[in-house]
Amino acid sequence: MIRFIVSRLIGMVLVLIVVSLVTFLIFQAVPLLAKSSPVYYYIGKAPATPELLKTLTHRFGFDQPLPAQYWSYLAGFFGKSITDGTSAPVQCDFPCFGYSFRRNELVSTLIVQALPVTISLCIGAAILWLVGGLLVGTLSGLKPGSFTDRAGMTGALAAVSLPIFFTGPVLLLVFVYTLGWLPDNGGYVDITVNPAQWFLSLLLPWVCLAFLFAALYARLTRSNVLETMGEDYIRTARAKGLDRRTIVVKHGLRAALTPIVTIFGIDIGSLIGTTIITEQVFNLRGLGTLSIQAISSLDLPVMLGVTVVAAFALVVANFIVDLLYAVIDPRVTV
């Protein structure tokens, strides 16, 4: 087990190094190839004079060879001092994603502000879609062709086909602006401030985001349950004289839901990317909104930071899933 964990941790670090290399190449090397300068994207505007451009290019190290730049980019994660030459230098501690000159803020500060929103959104939505998707999928899979099955799968098809930028405004219109059941508080309220408000402010975003995933999970669960219930070991379980509940829950679902753990790990890891639209629709200032703003204002340090954080989330989620899988399936040796 310990060997497994250590080897997976080493693998994680390797993946992160690859991610950092790719982001470095895209964001710092590509502008050079395009005969432009990363400086524009670093400070978010064109320097006033060619001399200033030259000074800044030197100060940020863009005049050094690419490997040396990559090295200082990597080393920068562990902390560095940043200055634009006019104001006092800013100390950036590990994990350092650099400094946004557009916003005059450390990128890590921006991320730390945005992260609770995105995490709240992701976890709540994940719980909703897991419960909903697995429930509908299991009920459908146990009685294929029944009314429940047809209704569930039709609903799933509809949910998959409806984009968040459609369902989101519709839900807002109905529940906030027409029925007035939910407060129009204009965005996220932190859980530490007011848990009830936090819950209400996220309810619609959760439902919206969960809807999409729940539909996929319902279909996946249905086919897994359907397949598993036809397995020989289910027949064995019946032949032993077990009751229906034990057969379905202990023997059926245990096997049917195992592959879903894998998918879930990947989905929850990549969710940060998926939340962009939801955050936009519901005016939540999470990582999605942060990256949209960074892209539209060419704020390179923020883009880099969000990318690395998203990659990290994905890698960690996969690591946890691998661990879980080894616990669930005895055939997987660790």
Partner 1 sequence: MTDTSLADAPGTTTAQRPFLVVDDLRVHFPTDDGLVKSVDGLSFELRRGEILGIVGESGSGKSVTAQAILGLHKGSKAQVSGRILLDEQDLVPLSENDMRGVRGDEVSMIFQDPLSSLHPFYSIGNQISEAYLVHNKVGKKAAKQRTIEMLQKVGIPNAAGRYDDYPHQFSGGMRQRAMIAMALICQPKLLIADEPTTALDVTVQAQILELIKELRDELNSAVIIITHDLGVVAETCDQVVVMYGGQCVEKGTVDELFDRPEMPYTWGLLGSMPRMDRVRQERLTPIPGSPPSLINVPKGCVFNPRCRFSDRVEGRRCFTEHPDLLETTGSTDPRVRHQVRCHIPPAERQEILLTEIRPTL
Alpha carbon distances (Å) from 48 to 34, 51, 54, 61, 105: 20, 8, 11, 19, 22
Nearer to partner 1, 130 or 255 (CB): 255
Alpha carbon distances (Å) from 217 to 240, 262, 273, 302: 31, 12, 18, 33
- Calculate ∠ Cα 213-219-222, nearest 5°: 130
Nearer to partner 1, 167 or 221 (CB): 221
Provide the minimum distance between the beta carbon of 263 and partner 1 in the complex, in angstroms, as a whole number.
18
Residue spans of alpha helices (H) in the chain: 2-24, 30-33, 38-43, 50-59, 66-76, 107-142, 147-161, 164-171, 195-229, 232-239, 244-246, 254-281, 287-296, 300-328
Nearer to partner 1, 1 or 25 (CB): 1
Residue 30, classed as helix, strand or coil, is helix
Provide the minimum distance between the beta carbon of 329 and partner 1 in the complex, in angstroms, as a whole number.
6
- Calculate ∠ Cα 146-149-155, nearest 5°: 140
Under the criterion CB under 8 A, does residue 243 sit at the interface with partner 1? yes
Torsion-angle region of 48 (φ positive above 0: left; ψ -120 to 50: alpha; else: beta): alpha
Nearer to partner 1, 154 or 246 (CB): 246
Nearer to partner 1, 237 or 310 (CB): 237
Beta-sheet pairing, 80-82 with 105-106: unpaired
Provide the minimum distance between the beta carbon of 246 and partner 1 in the complex, in angstroms, as a whole number.
8
Nearer to partner 1, 139 or 255 (CB): 255
Footprint on residues 149-188 left by partner 1 (CB under 8 A) = none
Provide the minimum distance between the beta carbon of 222 and partner 1 in the complex, in angstroms, as a whole number.
19
Footprint on residues 314-333 left by partner 1 (CB under 8 A) = 328-331
Under the criterion CB under 8 A, does residue 241 sit at the interface with partner 1? yes
Footprint on residues 210-239 left by partner 1 (CB under 8 A) = 231-233, 235-239
DSSP string spanning 112-130?
Answer: HHHHHHHHHHHHHHHHHHH
Among the listed residues 162, 242, 292, 323, the single contact to partner 1 using CB under 8 A: 242
Footprint on residues 247-276 left by partner 1 (CB under 8 A) = 251, 254-255, 258
Whole-angstrom distance, CA of residue 288 vs CA of residue 126: 17
Nearer to partner 1, 205 or 252 (CB): 252
Provide the minimum distance between the beta carbon of 140 and partner 1 in the complex, in angstroms, as a whole number.
17
Provide the minimum distance between the beta carbon of 242 and partner 1 in the complex, in angstroms, as a whole number.
6
Query: Binding residues for partner 1, per CB under 8 A?
Result: 231-233, 235-244, 246, 251, 254-255, 258, 328-331
